[in-house]
């Protein structure tokens, strides 16, 4: 069943001399429960594409359908609500809030969804336990290793029970052991039915994918089904 459909997607920055065409008419279909890996050389448009799929950014032309809904026509506010309801994000740079503990970072998306405090704390503790960090709940990000920070970020991404996880080079700042831990967590989430869409240039990880989307110069040059 088609979950996400992309039709003739264009992204252009700037005007005149400074014009950069970053995405050139992309088309893609993603089913529920897929593990999609988007790969290609640096600067080919992977992050831009992921940010548009995740409704963090909008295209200049074309459409992203999610569950048949024309997301590109939504207002910024509608997109924010939709995003909080169905998706979780994991970034290369972790994007944790340094003034909040691990537990509070995981609580944050639930606060934005107005869940009550006792539920938030209970669920945040459970999620930290599931990523092996129950003993680090009261640590601040700067007291954690990169691998631990990314595991907190995964727990945070799961806070609102997402249907999709968007991950942009989630292993890019990690050593191979921590990177493999993160990949195993993503694989487990995929096994539990969550759709994963991940950008990486590390080709060894394509073995986890149900679909590998290869990009070059703003175009999809190949789609390999596994």
Q: By the criterion CB under 6 A, which residues form the site for ligand ADP? A: 13, 20, 22, 42-48, 51, 56, 89, 91-93, 95, 168-169
Q: Name the residue nearer to ligand ADP (CB basis): 128 or 167.
A: 167
- What minimum distance in Å lies between the beta carbon of 31 and ligand ADP? 24
165 strand-pairing partners: 88, 196
Q: What are phi and psi of 212, to 5 degrees?
A: -110, 120
163 secondary structure, DSSP code: S
Smallest separation, CB 36 to ligand ADP (Å): 15
Which of 19, 177 has the CB closer to ligand ADP? 19
| DSSP track, 128-144 | HHHTT-GGGTT--GGGS
Cβ closer to ligand ADP: 24 or 187?
24
For 104, what's the count of Cα atoms within 13 Å in the CB-facing half-sphere? 10
Please, what is the minimum distance in Å from the beta carbon of residue 223 to ligand ADP? Answer: 16
Q: Rounded to the nearest whole angstrom, what is the least distance from the CB of residue 1 to ligand ADP in the complex?
A: 28
Contacts (Cβ under 8 Å, ≥6 apart) of 85:
113, 160
- Which has the closest alpha carbon to 224: 205, 211, 209, 208? 211
In the chain, how many H helices and how many E strands?
6, 10
**CB nearer ligand ADP, residue 2 or residue 145:** 145
Nearer to ligand ADP, 25 or 33 (CB): 25
Contact assessment for residue 185 and residue 156, using Cβ atoms and an 8 Å cutoff: no
Whole-number minimum distance, CB 93 to ligand ADP, in Å?
4
CA–CA separation, 164 and 46 (whole Å): 17
At its nearest, how many Å lie between ligand ADP and the CB of residue 169? Answer: 4
**Nearer to ligand ADP (CB atom), residue 2 or residue 27:** 27
């Amino acid at each position: 069943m088609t979950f996400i459909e992309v039709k003739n997607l264009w992204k252009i920055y700037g005007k005149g001399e400074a014009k950069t065409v970053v995405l050139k008419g992309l088309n893609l279909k993603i089913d529920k429960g897929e593990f999609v890996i988007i790969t290609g050389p640096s600067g080919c448009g992977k992050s831009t594409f992921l940010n548009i799929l995740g409704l963090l950014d909008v295209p200049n032309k074309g459409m992203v359908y999610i569950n048949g809904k024309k997301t590109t026509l939504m207002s910024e506010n509608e997109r924010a609500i939709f995003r909080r309801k169905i998706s979780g994000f994991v970034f290369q740079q972790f994007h944790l809030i340094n003034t909040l503990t691990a537990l509070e970072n995981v609580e944050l998306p639930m606060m934005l969804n107005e869940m009550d405090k006792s539920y938030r704390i209970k669920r945040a503790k459970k999620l930290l336990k599931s990523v092996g960090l129950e003993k680090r709940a009261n640590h601040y990000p700067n007291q954690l290793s990169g691998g631990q920070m990314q595991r907190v970020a995964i727990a945070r991404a799961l806070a609102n029970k997402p249907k999709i996880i968007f991950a942009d080079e989630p292993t890019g700042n990690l050593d191979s052991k921590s990177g493999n831990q993160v990949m195993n967590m993503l694989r487990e989430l995929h096994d539990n039915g969550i759709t994963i869409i991940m950008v990486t240039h590390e080709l060894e990880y394509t073995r986890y994918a149900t679909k590998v989307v290869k990009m070059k110069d703003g175009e999809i040059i190949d789609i390999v089904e596994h």
